[in-house]
Structure 1
Amino acid sequence: MRIGENALKNWIIGLVVVALVGFAGYTYFEDKKEEQLREEAKAQLLEKYNSQQQLQTDGPPEGEGLKIGEVAADFPIETADGEVVHLSDFRGEPVILNFWATWCPPCRAEMPDMQKVYEDTGVRILSANLIETEKSEDHVPQFIEEYGMTFDVYYDRGGIAAQTYRIQPIPTTYFIDSEGVISFIAYGPLNYDMMIQELEKMK
């Protein structure tokens, strides 16, 4: 009887182990499948975005540019309420022009420092979300809430701003002085001290 009980106990333990291993394997492959689907969707969005960029043949308007020391090229962009504004509307005050997307890890890393700079200085931040690359527009307000962003976020519908500035890596950030002249360009994430340093140079 003792042998039978031990055999039964061992069989039950073995069954549980097999079930757990099987479940773990199933979960692993399901997670991999979901991750693959997300990456495929993102790749399709990026392909669409890049194809839009390739259609851009005109450079910045005459008298405007994309380089340090040049007057920043103007462009239209939408508020969350659908109102169209232009970069030139903010002439007379320094502007941090930041191109980003919710799916971009460096953008996520940078955003808390961007928020702190805004809280500490009140500088105008023209936060240009590359909405054409987002899988869902709902991701933007979710991102804003998650990161406690209190500065205005704008939607680059049609990729006009990104095309004008020929944005490739993101985040990309332009520091533009009160006269509309580009004073600094950053390709990649910035930290708090770097942003403050560049703002000080524009005073």
Structure 2
Amino acid sequence: MAVNKKARREAAARAADERRRAAAKRRLMRNLAIGVGAAIVLVGGLFLLDPQPTLVGETSATAWDLPELDGDGRVALADFEGTPLVAAFFADWCPHCRRELPHYAQVSDDLGDQVAWVGINSANSGSGLGFAQELGIDKWPLARDIGGNNSGSGLFDAHRARGMPLTVFYNPDGSVARTVNQPLTEDQLRAQLAELFGVTG
């Protein structure tokens, strides 16, 4: 008789323990569901408040159309039709870009509207805007490269470039006059412009 009572008590204790565990599990699952739901609502609200831009455009070497580096506008090759154009590709990790772009800025000042200039931030994980401002090219139209093999190098890739820096000289009709995939000094840049477009200053 005593044995039966002991067995019943043990069975009741086990059953109570199982009920406690089941209740705790239900509470945990309910709290997790509430937490996940709250996170979804929060993230959704953030996207509604600050929608992320979709970077779209065209990266053909002779018909490109890219998003502005800073802003909601566009920068396209067609914008410069009728004027020789220098497209300087840059990234803030590129030491050669840091050395040559201040010379480009000086030459662009000297030549005025004889030549158009555009900076194209390519293969760069950051915004590149601070880099452009530091080197004095933020007075030019600035574009962000998109797509490509390096998550933002589509136009760079279209020119079959290998490493930075890259300078592309465009004729007034939008065709490519020359591609230079190496650093240029100020004198070399001026020589290129004189040879290709007859521009001096």
TM-score between the two structures when normalised by the length of structure 2: 0.58
Q: Distance in 1 between matches of 2:136 and 2:88?
A: 17
Aligned to 1:172: 166
Matching of residues 72-111 of structure 1 within 5 Å: 73-79=62-68, 80-111=70-101
- Letter aligned with residue 154 of structure 1: A
Of residues 132, 148, 157, the one that matches 2:146 is: 157
Q: Distance in 1 between matches of 2:180 and 2:194?
A: 16
Matching of residues 191-202 of structure 1 within 5 Å: 191-201=185-195, 202=197
Change (3 A) 1:134 1:184: closer
**Unaligned stretches of 5+ residues in structure 1:** 1-58, 61-71
Q: CA RMSD in A?
A: 2.0
Of residues 134, 159, 171, the one that matches 1:146 is: 134
Q: Check the 8 A contact 1:101/1:129 in 2, yes or no.
A: yes
Q: Distance in 2 between matches of 1:95 and 1:151?
A: 11
Question: Residue 79 of structure 2 aligns to a residue in which SS?
Answer: helix
**Unaligned stretches of 5+ residues in structure 2:** 1-58, 148-152
Question: Residue 118 of structure 2 aligns to a residue in which SS?
Answer: strand
Q: Which has the higher contact order (CA 8 A, sep 6+)?
A: 1
Aligned to 1:184: 178
Deviation of 1:144 (Å): 2.2
Decide which structure has the larger Cα Rg and report it.
2
Aligned to 2:21: none
- Which consecutive aligned stretches of 4+ in structure 1 deviate over 4 angstroms post-superposition? none
Aligned-residue identity in percent: 27
Aligned residues: 130
Q: Distance in 1 between matches of 2:119 and 2:109?
A: 15
Q: Deviations over 1:34-82 (max 9, x none)?
A: xxxxxxxxxxxxxxxxxxxxxxxxx95xxxxxxxxxxx62111111212
Change (3 A) 1:164 1:185: closer
Q: Distance in 1 between matches of 2:76 and 2:130?
A: 25
